[in-house]
A and B are shown apart, each in its own frame.
Chain A
Amino acid sequence: MTPSAGPIVGSRSFLSRLREGDEIAHLITFLFAASVVLVTLLLVFVLWQQSVLPRHKFGFAFFFTRVWDPISEDFGALPFIYGTIVTTVVALLISVPLGLGAAIFLAELAPQRISDTLQFFIDLLAAVPSVIYGLLGIFIVVPLMRTVIEPALKDTLGFLPFFQGPAYGVGFLTAGIVLAIMIVPYIISVSREILLAVPREQREAALALGSTRWESTWKVVIPFARTGIMGSIFLAMARALGETMAVAMVIGNTPTISASLFSPGYSIAAVIANEFTEATGDLYLQALVELGLVLFILTFILNGVARLLIVLTTQKGSRTAQV
């Protein structure tokens, strides 16, 4: 089978290609493409090289120390790593069921036109910038959390260590909720694509065996698409880890490690945003760059895993469809 789209591989002499501009165009486009690779390598190099001081001084202890004291130049990242993980987990606990539910509705249930319209709005939602969510977070979500939601949680689930302590409004829970809203669109868009790639025969077989619509979705379609959905979750997780502005505006910016989700905290991205311009001294600045390096490595791994999982599922879908 010959492809019906894509470039043609020609076989003319080098000289004639040079005369007609082919070789020059090749060279110029190559230089631009190469600059993408160079800049990416440079980014990794700069992060590594600009964080040499704290890496040598603190080593791996950097990740397990709770102190963050710019005056005595003693830096440990544990509260920020903790805050990043807690807010991301809270965000996933909310956004995965919500996003998966919406994706099922869009892919399995809604008629094409409604599904496309809703997807259009969800794409727009994904385009809302972080700082706007932060703005709404400060003036709408934080007061709501302080006066209504956190007291209500304390009354009903207060026996759990997560829902104790004073309700400040700002804190891990609020940051997690705002993050959840921000990553839901990613989960929906990717999961919807994955679900749409599940072969029709899978659903028909389940329905023909007498299962209800929900059983065919939950016990056949979802397991078939499981790896791809995991991929979409990893993708959303990478987004949540690196999300800066909205979190910085509602997390409370206090380096604390506390089991209570009501407690104000701090995240890696937020501390970089807040302290980078006022960092005095090389060690302080480089400690912040090392936090950036940590974020980079985490998102690098998560994105890699996500892409692999998504490719695996879509391939599985097309392979089964051909059989």
Chain B
Amino acid sequence: MSGRLRWRKFVSGFMLAMTGVCALVTVSVLFFVLGDLVVHGGTSINWNFFTKLPAPVGETGGGMANAIVGSAKLLLLASLIGVPIGFLGGVYLAEFSGSTAAFIVRYAGDLLNGVPSIVIGIFAYAMLVLPFKHFSTIAGSFALGLMMVPIILRSTEEFLNGVPRALREGSMALGASKWKTIQAVVIPAAYRGILTAILLAFARVAGETAPLLFTALGNRYWSHGWNEPTASLPVVIYTYALSPYDDWHRQAWAAGLVLLGLILVINIVARAILSRGISVPRS
């Protein structure tokens, strides 16, 4: 073997090994993040954390019940806004639209998907905080719902388009109308994929902080109804982490662990739903 060839083989082996190192380094970050959260936050998760209001400044103890409920309310309302628009818009794209209309809607969706979350926050502020002169759960939910729309829109379209034509033809040959076909055959055939997309969109906005800073703001106490500022887990993590109190730092870690745990579980469930066999029986 000539020296030149030996050198080339060495370079090849070395560089390929380096690519493996890159992959390992990246993946290990996930376990590093998880490990840190468990180490720093695990001990602070107790019954009080889920049931108590935050303690006054200077006192230790207390929990974040209000932030947990606040996040749940924000996400519920956000889903009520984001899921119908994304899903029905996606049905329109896949089943009804002409190519020009589809191009415009798709383009708007892609544009919306790329907008930084902080800019979505500004938009929600201008639409729902400025005119009413107060921060509210509604404004925060509007911002989060808006972020869910493009994800659900494009996935719904993709999964509906993937339904085999033979299924539609079978249904229509039996005399079903187009809408009946879509509703009784096409959507059920694609529902796993659509459900996955909805769950992923939910998980994505569950951790969003920037759009909530000046829409839902924050609240040390319970937020009543939908028209008051409300605490939420991501914003509490942010404010507690920047605070000078050790006890608050501890709680920020605990909240981070709870939030990340929730998001990772939803992600894993969503992917399991999708990969549990192909949603449509292959003919």
CB proximity of A175 to chain B, nearest CB, Å: 15
A287-301 interface with B by 8 A CB criterion: 288-289, 292, 295-296, 299-300
List B contacts of A97 (CB < 8 A).
22
Could you pull out 17 A-B pairs where Cβ atoms are within 8 angstroms?
A: A6-B165, A7-B161, A17-B178, A25-B182, A29-B96, A33-B93, A43-B119, A98-B25, A105-B22, A109-B19, A122-B27, A127-B204, A128-B260, A273-B213, A276-B122, A295-B118, A303-B114
Q: With A106-B23, A135-B253, A242-B116 as given contacts, are A26 and B96 in contact (CB-CB < 8 Å)?
A: yes
A-facing mask of B141-167, CB < 8 A → 1, else 0? 000001001100100000011111110
Category for how many chain B residues contact A: 35 or more
User: Given A7-B186, A132-B259, 9 more contacts at CB 8 Å?
Assistant: A25-B183, A47-B122, A99-B22, A102-B22, A110-B20, A123-B267, A128-B30, A289-B122, A292-B122
Whether B165 and A22, one on each chain, are in contact in the complex, defined by CB atoms closer than 8 angstroms, is no
CB proximity of B3 to chain A, nearest CB, Å: 15
Interface residue B220 (Cβ < 8 Å from any Cβ of A)? no
Whether A37 and B105, one on each chain, are in contact in the complex, defined by CB atoms closer than 8 angstroms, is yes
Whether A307 and B110, one on each chain, are in contact in the complex, defined by CB atoms closer than 8 angstroms, is yes
Whether A299 and B116, one on each chain, are in contact in the complex, defined by CB atoms closer than 8 angstroms, is yes
Whether B238 and A134, one on each chain, are in contact in the complex, defined by CB atoms closer than 8 angstroms, is yes
- In the complex the two chains form, what is the Cα distance from A79 to B213 in whole Å? 23
Indicate which residue in B36, B92, B116 contacts A295 across the interface (CB closer than 8 Å).
B116
Interface residue B95 (Cβ < 8 Å from any Cβ of A)? yes
Whether B8 and A102, one on each chain, are in contact in the complex, defined by CB atoms closer than 8 angstroms, is no
Interface residue B168 (Cβ < 8 Å from any Cβ of A)? yes
A94-141 interface with B by 8 A CB criterion: 97-102, 104-106, 108-110, 118, 120-125, 127-136, 138-140
Whether B164 and A299, one on each chain, are in contact in the complex, defined by CB atoms closer than 8 angstroms, is no
Interface residue A145 (Cβ < 8 Å from any Cβ of B)? no
A32-62 interface with B by 8 A CB criterion: 32-37, 39-43, 46-47, 50
Interface residue A215 (Cβ < 8 Å from any Cβ of B)? yes
Interface residue B136 (Cβ < 8 Å from any Cβ of A)? no
Whether A33 and B105, one on each chain, are in contact in the complex, defined by CB atoms closer than 8 angstroms, is yes
List A contacts of B97 (CB < 8 A).
30, 33
Interface residue B55 (Cβ < 8 Å from any Cβ of A)? no
The 7 A-B pairs of least Cβ separation, nearest first, read: A242-B116, A129-B207, A101-B22, A20-B177, A29-B92, A214-B12, A212-B12
Whether A249 and B213, one on each chain, are in contact in the complex, defined by CB atoms closer than 8 angstroms, is no
- In the complex the two chains form, what is the Cα distance from A224 to B160 in whole Å? 32
B1-47 interface with A by 8 A CB criterion: 8-9, 11-13, 15-16, 18-23, 25-27, 29-30, 33, 36-37, 40
Whether A245 and B209, one on each chain, are in contact in the complex, defined by CB atoms closer than 8 angstroms, is yes
Interface residue A72 (Cβ < 8 Å from any Cβ of B)? no
List B contacts of A300 (CB < 8 A).
111, 114
List B contacts of A104 (CB < 8 A).
19, 22
CB proximity of A166 to chain B, nearest CB, Å: 22
Nearest residue in A to B37 (C-beta to C-beta)? A132
- In the complex the two chains form, what is the Cα distance from A46 to B182 in whole Å? 37
Whether B214 and A30, one on each chain, are in contact in the complex, defined by CB atoms closer than 8 angstroms, is no
Nearest residue in B to A117 (C-beta to C-beta)? B27
List B contacts of A26 (CB < 8 A).
92, 96
Binds B, one of A181-189, A258-266, A313-321: A181-189
Interface residue B104 (Cβ < 8 Å from any Cβ of A)? yes
List A contacts of B195 (CB < 8 A).
none
List B contacts of A215 (CB < 8 A).
8, 12
Dominant SS among interface residues on chain B: helix
- In the complex the two chains form, what is the Cα distance from A42 to B95 in whole Å? 26
- In the complex the two chains form, what is the Cα distance from A292 to B116 in whole Å? 9
List A contacts of B210 (CB < 8 A).
130, 244-245, 269, 273
Q: With A125-B27, A295-B116 as given contacts, are A131 and B209 in contact (CB-CB < 8 Å)?
A: yes
Whether A46 and B123, one on each chain, are in contact in the complex, defined by CB atoms closer than 8 angstroms, is yes
- In the complex the two chains form, what is the Cα distance from A118 to B110 in whole Å? 27
Whether B162 and A20, one on each chain, are in contact in the complex, defined by CB atoms closer than 8 angstroms, is no
Category for how many chain A residues contact B: 35 or more
Interface residue B84 (Cβ < 8 Å from any Cβ of A)? yes
Q: With A122-B26, A303-B110 as given contacts, are A269 and B161 in contact (CB-CB < 8 Å)?
A: no
Whether B267 and A40, one on each chain, are in contact in the complex, defined by CB atoms closer than 8 angstroms, is no
List B contacts of A289 (CB < 8 A).
122, 126
CB proximity of A22 to chain B, nearest CB, Å: 5
Nearest residue in A to B178 (C-beta to C-beta)? A22
- In the complex the two chains form, what is the Cα distance from A149 to B165 in whole Å? 59
Whether A20 and B179, one on each chain, are in contact in the complex, defined by CB atoms closer than 8 angstroms, is yes
- In the complex the two chains form, what is the Cα distance from A58 to B245 in whole Å? 41
Interface residue B88 (Cβ < 8 Å from any Cβ of A)? yes
CB proximity of B185 to chain A, nearest CB, Å: 11
List B contacts of A7 (CB < 8 A).
94-95, 160-161, 168, 186
Whether A129 and B263, one on each chain, are in contact in the complex, defined by CB atoms closer than 8 angstroms, is yes
- In the complex the two chains form, what is the Cα distance from A22 to B96 in whole Å? 9
Whether B115 and A43, one on each chain, are in contact in the complex, defined by CB atoms closer than 8 angstroms, is yes
List A contacts of B260 (CB < 8 A).
128-129, 132
List B contacts of A109 (CB < 8 A).
16, 19-20
Whether A39 and B146, one on each chain, are in contact in the complex, defined by CB atoms closer than 8 angstroms, is yes
Indicate which residue in B23, B104, B118, B253 contacts A242 across the interface (CB closer than 8 Å).
B118
CB proximity of B258 to chain A, nearest CB, Å: 11
Nearest residue in A to B264 (C-beta to C-beta)? A124
Whether A25 and B179, one on each chain, are in contact in the complex, defined by CB atoms closer than 8 angstroms, is yes
Nearest residue in B to A101 (C-beta to C-beta)? B22
